[in-house]
Structure 1
């Protein structure tokens, strides 16, 4: 039998080594993978010896090597990063842990960890809603109302907290106390004034701020495009609400296509420059048209009657019956037939049917035609 205490200690050491290396500027997911391979599959092995003993041979760019050479040990760097997080109230979600967006796990170039503020809620369908910072006059109230309808249906609203459409969509979700996620292009202790003003409303009404950037990193022209892959990757689909030519929202659409996420766009008047990007996505076949909140909810597999209640507390899992919890564990993100689930379950057909109905009513499972069930 494995020594549980030893396994836990090794896991903790691996996380701290990951945190330390992630704090080195210029060291991204692919470079981190190369460093892990150099260390024989475990970064904690590097943490056990001084950096000077291995920095000359580690496969990283010269600039990263110089920054590493200035560090005495990974343990010391991890401690400094943890202290910086504690000072700003930041928490760390490692890939595979409950607070880490599950849709990001396994994606190419996904960060090994995220810093966050807030309380990520239960599993649910999520829609990225993005758009221009400066849409045409009168569009922002429409965007807010549209997002509110999506949130009322139990769909999580994901965006970037940028001025304009992004922020209007967040507010739509916040209006009804629903969960909304914002992926920032800066560290969470280096917010711009508008994001800092929005943060208390997020934390009070069910929102979460995420960033892959360690404490102290300010936004730049490179960090914003990078974070767009997280907005799309954490979502089940992407809706471009309004985008002119060259809008940053189009980068999110491109990331979604690369990740295999469905892309939708709201069509706009052909004479309206603020809608030119959306219309181009539709004309080129890179996006499908969306004309209502109800239609986009159907796309991500949410029925308003079966929606996850907004603002549900952290005891949602304990509130389920033992049978429902067991059935949930047998499902995944690809639809499975009732017979497939039954074959893997100790429950009788009647008990399994009851458990699946409970999961549907809780918004945790979607039933497709032919009695096929999918975890949200």
Structure 2
């Protein structure tokens, strides 16, 4: 059996797309040249032998990769063209996974991010990178807004700079400014600093990227254990700090978890869960319009842009949400939403295998309902009773004022 001929992946400089000397030499000996139409057309005919086949990437990669594999397995030379650095949101990763990294020879060029950072004189070692290519949700962008002060966003024909600006405005993330860089490295290069609202109705060159810069930090630093009085909340409808901390500890939120906070109140659990699920998704579900508005304001104050607020009645409001790894139920078990255990049934059905659910109960009936439900399903579960006391002023001194006892019930799905 013929050993696979190494596949050469060549990065062309952004904008100019002029092959280097070594790239030209590799093209001169190629039997198959693969790349997007723009990259193929950038290579003059005299660089590619007449017998070489040009294969344009115009659709799914799977058949392209199979052609590359078969050609290389026959001992023939394959050159794959990429834009900039093939290993930075490029085809290099996918080819390494499919063909084996040992079968690749990679010649990178400047990445678009390097060029953009140089144009703006921005150090980029702490920059976050988000690709919206082919995505129908902005969760990676919202996560980056939480953790980074400088973000490079790769756009596409649908997720344009105007759509990125709209997404930030919808979340209230007006603490970021935007620079749009079009046709980097080309003669018609255009670099425009823009306010978010300016992008409304604007058109941009197909080849563009966005740099977002934070101008000021959130009013309240996002962390675990945010004091209760920092949250805008209605009456006493907040999961108090000691109980919130215990609930989050029992949830065991991982960095890539999808979390549901059901009956979210002011959103304190969802907001602090988003600090832990920094690469995941967090949904705060609340049926009351006033409380939902308070959650959005608390998100703005803390910069917890990862949290999606879902306004609606449960369990109907849950049907279109992605399946969760973690579910917190702070309210609803004693109300209409859980008649005939409808809410618990839906939550348990939607929870992914080996997922965890935590229920905070104040009423004994709610505790027994949840306990009996998990017991009937054969789930491993436990209950912790938590009663905290906090200092309160009295007669010029301090006393301890007891908070309501809460039952923290946790259960794991097999």
- The TM-score with structure 2 as length reference comes to 0.31
* Structure exhibiting the larger radius of gyration computed from Cα positions: 2
Query: Which fold has the larger relative contact order, with Cα–Cα distance below 8 Å and residues 6 or more apart in sequence?
Result: 1
- The TM-score with structure 1 as length reference comes to 0.34
Greater percentage in strand? 2
Greater percentage in helix? 1
